[in-house]
Amino acid sequence: MPSEKINSHLREATAFVQDLAKHVPLTTVVIDDWREAIRLIYGGPNNPNCGNNCGDCPLFQAVGPDDPKLLKPDGTPQSELNFIQTLAKPELPRDTQLAPNVRNFVNCMSLAQYMSFYTAWLVQVCEDEGEILKELELVEGMRIVYHRGIHDLNELESVVKRLIVENALWQLPEDHWRVPLIIKHAERLGLI
């Protein structure tokens, strides 16, 4: 079930992406509660191997980078109610470590990269049960607003959420302390 914040921007995001897809070759677009704002994560045929030629990229030309005047000193948006369509620079070194093929903008990634980023966060970053629960709630809240060639996105969305959790469990040893917590909260949230 999407978060209240995502719900409040879902219609606007869908209309924006449908219009954008007329001009920009997109594969998948996800709306996500990311970094204290509602952001779009763009996947296109050029990620993950775009060569970082942003000046030649139709997506970059259409949406551009975040406006630094609208960001706090730490790089997060000034208002958590923002719906941000622009591209976000990595804020932390681990952003590019967890998504190694993402270089210039962290919300410009394929669906597979997006799933891997969430999986890596669960496996490598979450340090306690509260962080695991928060991350799984973010997974539960994300919505796929566009996928080329698919009109009913609910099934794809369910599969993506389940695979994020299953991939995290697959990467961890069975006796790792995170495993029972991920299972407990993923089951409660209906992700697996």
pLDDT in tens, 5-30: 888 889 999 999 999 999 999 999 99
Tell me the β-bridge partners of 127: none
Helix (H), strand (E) at residue 187: helix 178-188
Output the CA torsion sign for 39, 32, 44, 115: positive
46: pLDDT confidence band, cut at 50, 70 and 90? low
- Tell me the average pLDDT across 20-49: 85
Phi, psi angles (nearest 5°) of residue 17: -70, -40
22: its two tokens: 């007329």
pLDDT in tens, 55-89: 888 999 999 988 777 667 766 666 655 788 988 88
DSSP state, residue 173:
-
Range(s) of the domain holding residue 10 = 4-188
The listed range with the strongest mean pLDDT (58-62, 73-77, 114-118, 130-134) is 130-134
pLDDT higher than 80, residue 43 = yes
Instruction: Report the pLDDT value the prediction gives residue 188, as an integer from 0 to 100.
Output: 97
CA distance 65 to 106: 11
Instruction: Report the pLDDT value the prediction gives residue 16, as an integer from 0 to 100.
Output: 95
Q: What's the total number of domains in the chain?
A: 1
List Cβ neighbours of 7 (8 Å cut-off, separation of 6 or more).
none
Q: Please name the amino acid found at residue 156.
A: L
